[in-house]
Amino acid sequence: MAGVTGTIAPSGQLNAGNVSVSGQRETANGFLVNGGDVQEHMNGGTAVVPNLDSIDEFRVLTNNFDPEHGNYNGGIINVVTKSGSDMLHGDMFEFFRNTALDARNYFSPERATFNQNQPGGTIGGPLKRQKVFFFADYEATRTTQGIETGLIPVPSGAERAGNFADVASSLTGTVNGRYWANLLSQRLGYAVSPGEPYYFPGCTTAAQCVLPNAMIPQRAWSSPAQRLLQYIPPPNSGENQFSTGAFAKTVRDDKFAYRVDANSRLGLLSGYYFFDDYRLDNPYPGQQGGANVPGFDALTLGRAQLFAAGDNTVMRNGAVNEFHATFTRNANNVGFPNGGRGVSLASQGFVTGPATPGIVVQAPELEGVENIAFDALTMGVTITGVNQVNQTFNFNDSLSKVFGTHTMKVGGQFQFSQVELDPNATFNGTFTFAGTETGSDFADFLLGIPSNYIQSTGGVFHLRNKYGALFAQDSWRIGSRVTFNYGMRWDVMQPWYERDNQIQTIVPGQESVVFPGAPLGLVVPGDPGIGRGLSPTRWDNVAPRVGIAYAPSEKFSVRGSYGIFYTAFQGLSAGIMYGVPPYGYNYLSPAPPLFETPFVTAADGTNNGQRFPFPPPPLGASASNPVSNIDWSKFIPVNADPFFGNDNKTPYSENYMLSVQRELAANAVATASYVGSRGHNILVIRQANPGNAALCLSVSQPDQVAPGSPTCGPFAENGIFVTKDGQVIHGTRGPLGPDYGTMTRQETTGYSRYNALELNLRYTHGNASVQAGYTLSKSVDVASNLGEQVNPFDIHRSEAPSAFDMRHNFVVSYNYDLPFGRLFGRRNEWTERWTISGTTRFSSGFPVTLYNSADTSLLGTFGNGVNNNLVDTPNYSPGCDLQVNRDPAKGPAFNTSCFSLPALGEIGSAPRRFSYGPGIQNFDMALIKNVSLTPNKSLQVRVEAFNVLNQPQFYGAGAVDGNITSSTFGQIVAAASPRLIQIATKFVF
């Protein structure tokens, strides 16, 4: 569909329907089923996906829809399910897939398992003839599907033995701190000094460098590294890459629905109930911070329900009133660790226990192989699973009437949403290895000096949100050739709040009266000027919308429109404010720690004190009931997930469109459209307390600090340093003061632009029909989702193509009734009713996201959760020929020599996105045979082939590795599905 950009759903995830519409974020879409809002508030997808055979009407509103629709500035996906009738009717079906029918993925050494059965059916008919009707449906899904990992860089066999000779050029670091130097001396058996290089070309003796011949002897390995190495898979694709499709996701999904419609004196009454119970076992739960290598699968268990009631009444004066009341409930446990669980942290070589500087196991039921993230590899159990219950109550009513040439409609909507959120947010900790010490992430792992350690805790969140709207619209026929549509919508969108006020924000200089003694600037609801949603509810969200259609002739028409569309804050905006004092705690090591005892700083041996278990304060604090007995020193420095700004505005977009449609012949219609939008007040993440790079550089060398003091470098923004003159520096972060560490802020300062030329041709002739569409578009923003931070000093430096920007997209769909009867001269059941259909797509690729995970900027712009990047990017040499390549057999996707690591203290000169990955050239086809059994019974058999030519499709947002610190930087590391074949039968009566 023109203007709609599909995304690649993460492997192992149930498809939630996330797409980008006209340049808006994938979370800005609304999903309606029988008048009810069924959006899943945390991630913006849909909680309800009806049986496809139960759908009577499916509409996708992509731009400038009428004022009766609102709350979202992307698209509106509106589904109406079938009703019963006086005749009993329905169908039964089975869709079948099997591994034997499929091909092998380009990067996988074996053909992945794919077995799937989808039986189901529908039935509708009368409960009372001409009065009451029913329609019911059921569908089951049973899937076992091998998930392709793509190419993952792993340590080579030599590296696993401690021999780094083949990658010695990466060992560029020097020993940081006397304590760490002494510890290395004890392990190695020879003297190591602060500032000594780990290796340099030609170093062959311990008198020259720490690791002569680029060897790390096993006696120097940390205890956890020795025990955890077994969980990192050895290479099976070249010397240092791993790929497999042998590990499967399994899906068990059962859903049914029942609808009743009744003609009564009150109007057409309808009731609908939907039920969906599902279980997913995902081998690579990356969306929950889990592993991308085998052995650490996670479960998602859930149940979605929808209750919908409606009344459509035609009044005596001809007015029509439509009323809908719906209740949606989606309860699920997402990302519960399965594989890797049950292995104690103590058995992995970690020091554990409350009275130690080691790890306190806060969630024994989740204890397992520790979560560890390297540059491009993650292992261990999931760390951001969540148990949540989404509930939405929705009421809307409208009244429409025709007055001469005017068709007028007025109405309103009220929605109340609840999310009960019980997250597993790094309860048992997580480590990151980014090569901060030696220059190699795996060498740091063996030696036991991670870049950082994070551990969090907190209680259950009870999130709430209210939304209300009023609208009025008129469609005015001005003569026979002109129709003018105009209207207004008033949206009142409350920011999400927490039932017990367990959320916080930062207002520099303001003291809390609810929690006296809190760090200056940390305030909560109930403090002066701070409401329940932290930011005030905006009452001036008035959205005018106008459109005009002009038909100079019966074969020619021109349409134009303009509108303002407000969009609600995503529930995730409140859900990620987790683990913030005093209701929770998020510990981030102030500097690289020791692996065995992560509360000890490796450089100087400082014991930062055990922070867990964490005692939460009592609920119910307020200005009239302040809580002043909290020991805030245990929280210093405060490290917070993104807090919601206290001055945020409602995000909105301006959408505009001009189209020309022409009937070329009796059976051909062509349309050309310009579609544009500008996004305003988009919610983005910004580091509110970045490190001072110049200050860090001033104490980055051993001769700049006092004896025994660590030096400053990447991931050490919260460290304590002593200059050679004796001055003590308590961290390099400045704007919020020394009481704060990394503090990311959610603020509505983002913006976006989208412009597109959309061409469409519909053609029918005899027994053939073709529809072709082409979109030339450009989408630009400063952040494409809440996982992308903006430049903390100048948001405009973050401007780049959107993650979902697809410049060219050409799609042809066709349907052709095969004339076997005419060709063979025999018209019978064997030669008639054969149809071939298909979809052909040629599109350019998504832009490659470039980033640098080494914190060379010294800003400490850590991500706010899972799969989030720092703002650091590589340096790019202007004018360098990128030599873009679409074939992995011919080398990297672009010329990697055009990029380099920035010097310490520099963010990087490359935009976050500007080069594009491979596109797609895909053919899907289906052969369909319909058999008439009786006048009202038929059988359909289908054979469907996806990627029928089995062309490797190196397509998707993660197809090219954009991390410059990864050994696969610039390489094409993933491919979309190979040829897959599905066989289906359907009995219709």
Kindly list the averaged pLDDT for each block of 10 residues, start to end, along the chain of length 989: 43 48 80 88 86 92 84 85 94 96 90 95 95 97 95 95 95 95 97 95 96 97 97 92 94 98 94 97 92 96 96 93 96 94 96 95 94 94 91 96 96 96 88 95 97 90 95 96 96 94 93 95 95 94 96 94 93 78 89 97 94 87 93 86 91 96 94 96 93 95 91 90 93 88 92 96 94 96 89 94 94 93 80 93 93 90 56 92 89 93 93 92 96 93 96 87 90 92 96
Peptide bond into 582 cis (omega under 30): yes
Residue 598's alpha-carbon distances to 173, 346, 429, in angstroms, are: 21, 13, 9
Domain residue extents for the chain: 163-215, 807-988
Q: Residue 579 phi/psi, 5° resolution?
A: 80, 30
pLDDT tens for each residue of 800-842: 999 999 999 999 999 999 988 788 878 887 888 999 999 999 9
pTM of the model: 0.90
CA distance 562 to 488: 12
Rg (alpha carbons) of the chain, rounded to whole number? 30
Asked if 105 and 78 touch (Cβ cutoff 8 Å), the reply is no
C-alpha distances in angstroms, 260 versus 35, 127, 265, 271, 739? 15, 9, 16, 5, 61
How would you classify the pairing of strands 768-781 and 808-818? antiparallel
Asked if residue 985 lies in contact with residue 940, where contact means CB atoms within 8 angstroms, the answer is: yes
The pLDDT tens digits for 845-902 are 999 999 888 899 999 887 544 445 678 999 999 999 999 988 888 889 999 999 999 9
Q: Please check whether residue 97 is in contact with residue 982, taking contact to mean a CB–CB distance below 8 angstroms.
A: yes
**CB crowding 365-404: b at 16 or more within 10 Å, else e:** ebbbbbbbbbbbbbbbbbbbbbbbbbbbbbbbebbbeeee
Tokens 């001036």: give the residue: 540
